[in-house]
Amino acid sequence: MATGWFARLWQPATDRPMTCHQVGAVLQRYLDGEIDAVTATRIAAHLDVCRDCGMEAETYERIKSTLATRRTELPADAVARLRDFATSLSTGSA
Among 1, 37, 71, 93, binds other proteins (CB under 8 A): 71
Question: How many CB atoms neighbour CB 20 within 10 A?
Answer: 13
Query: Under rule CB under 8 A, how many of the chain's residues touch other proteins?
Result: 37
Q: How many residues does the chain have?
A: 94
Decide: 54 and 43 in contact? Cβ < 8 Å: no
Coil, helix or strand for 67?
helix
- Does residue 84 interact with other proteins by CB under 8 A? no
The nearest distance, CB 44 to other proteins, in angstroms, is 16
- Residue 7 or 61 having the CB closest to other proteins: 61
- Does residue 44 interact with other proteins by CB under 8 A? no
